[in-house]
Amino acid sequence: MEAGKLKTFYDIRVLLFRGEDLHYTLASRIVDKISLSGAKTLCYKDEEELGRYIETFRNIYDSKEVLILKEFPGRKFQKCPGSPGVICCNYYLLNTCFNCLYDCTYCFLNSYLNSYGITQFINLDKLHESIFEHASDASRMYRIGTGEFTDSLMMDEITGIAENLIMRTSRHRNIFLEFKTKSDCVDHLLPIKEKGSTVLAWTLNTPVNISRYEKDTASLDSRVDAAAKAGDAGFYLAFHFDPIITYDGFLNDYDSVLNKLSENINPGKVVWVSLGCFRYSPGFKDIIKHKYRDSVLTCEEMFPGVDGKYRYLKKRRIEIYSFFYKKLRALFPLAYVYFCMESADVWYSVTGNDFASSDELEAAMGHSLRSNFL
Ligand code: SF4
């Protein structure tokens, strides 16, 4: 019932890059390796020519089969925008890539209708400097991740982004760098000696939901096995049950996933677990219906909340989160369990925590990290 084969860098069919960008370590690593894949490799000289290539390839290749190497002109470090009217965790994002090899039905990247190809940013040699520039208060715990607009590890053994960042930041124990994935690509990271406060994180779901909605990702067993290896090698771990998607018997299946985790994972390594019920922005339902015609993802009745996003009814969400929260507290007592983009009253109903702001949540998480893991 689980997803098929994991898609990798070697499934890329076209690589587009500028010859003058080969002085970037990341660009030269990718160009070197792509020759092993049989992919078509093309040089573009400017944005205009790149645009012409894209228009030609749109009708031939799927967007996720085309890798475009580009400089990123914008902010590489930013605060997660969160959502208005809900409690967020003050997470920080590193922009390293836009789009993903995998094809999750619920992925918000599906909203970017005109975007084509996987854009890998290449001017990342000094990415660690952006971290130090912003995460400069040694008394504060920073949680920073690369997995907002892509999967952090889907081709990391080629790009080397994680290893470079880990080696540069490992002495700063208050910087919890998180690499979030639905792959099992960790073997290249295991030998790193100084791991600092690096967190390798897996988004998990039931085999039913993986099979229905997470095309081209690793199976649940492969993800858990990879997480166990990472924990044994000395990395901190995190898990994200997001999105939790309902169907007949879904809670029994999530219960089995949690049992599988506790049987395989050292609980002392798990720094946080997030929970988020499936939600979507207005307009997203039409995109899903158009792109994934047979999908049952948006069949359940959902209702708009304070931030305009559609969610399951609050009563149902509280029941679901209460089930997870109780079990997770028992299995992983050191981990901080939090909700992604939920209202203060949902927080209070499930946990008894009466957070008035996102800063209060951040402070509580910081306290948990400092007292349990440093
Ligand atoms: S793994 Fe993440 S970024 Fe990739 S398609 Fe799935 S939800 Fe989107």
Where do the domains of the chain lie, and which CATH numbers do they carry? 77-113+130-373 (3.80.30.30)
Atom of ligand 1 nearest to the CA of 108: 8
Ligand 1 center from residue 144 Cα (angstroms) = 18
pLDDT at position 268, please? Answer: 97
pLDDT at 191: 98
Atom of ligand 1 nearest to the CA of 99: 3
- Strand 142-145: give its sheet, edge to edge: 77-79, 92-94, 142-145, 175-181, 199-203, 236-244, 270-277, 336-339
Tokens read off for 156 = 């990391």
Whole-number pLDDT of residue 301? 86
Residues in the chain: 374
- Read off the pLDDT of each residue in 271-298 and give the average, rounded to a whole number: 92
Segment 295-307 shows an average pLDDT of 88
Q: Which residue's CA is the closest to the ligand 1 atom numbered 8? A: 107
Q: Please state, rounded to an integer, the average pLDDT across all residues of the chain.
A: 95
Instruction: Give me the pLDDT at residue 300, please.
Output: 85
The CB density around residue 90, as the number of other CB atoms within 10 Å, is 18
| Residue 1 banded pLDDT, cuts 50, 70, 90 | very low
Q: If you search the block for the tokens 């306290």, which residue do you land on?
A: 367
Contact 317, 343 (CB under 8 A): no
pLDDT at residue 2, rounded to an integer? 46
| pTM of the entire predicted model | 0.96
Phi first, then psi: what are they for 95, rounded to 5°?
-90, 105
Q: Is the pLDDT of residue 162 over 60?
A: yes
Ligand 1 site: residues with CB under 6 angstroms?
100, 102-104, 107, 109, 150-151, 182
Mean predicted confidence (pLDDT) in 103-127: 94
Residue 359 has pLDDT above 70, yes or no: yes
Q: What is the pLDDT of residues 189-206, one digit of tens each?
A: 999 999 999 999 999 999
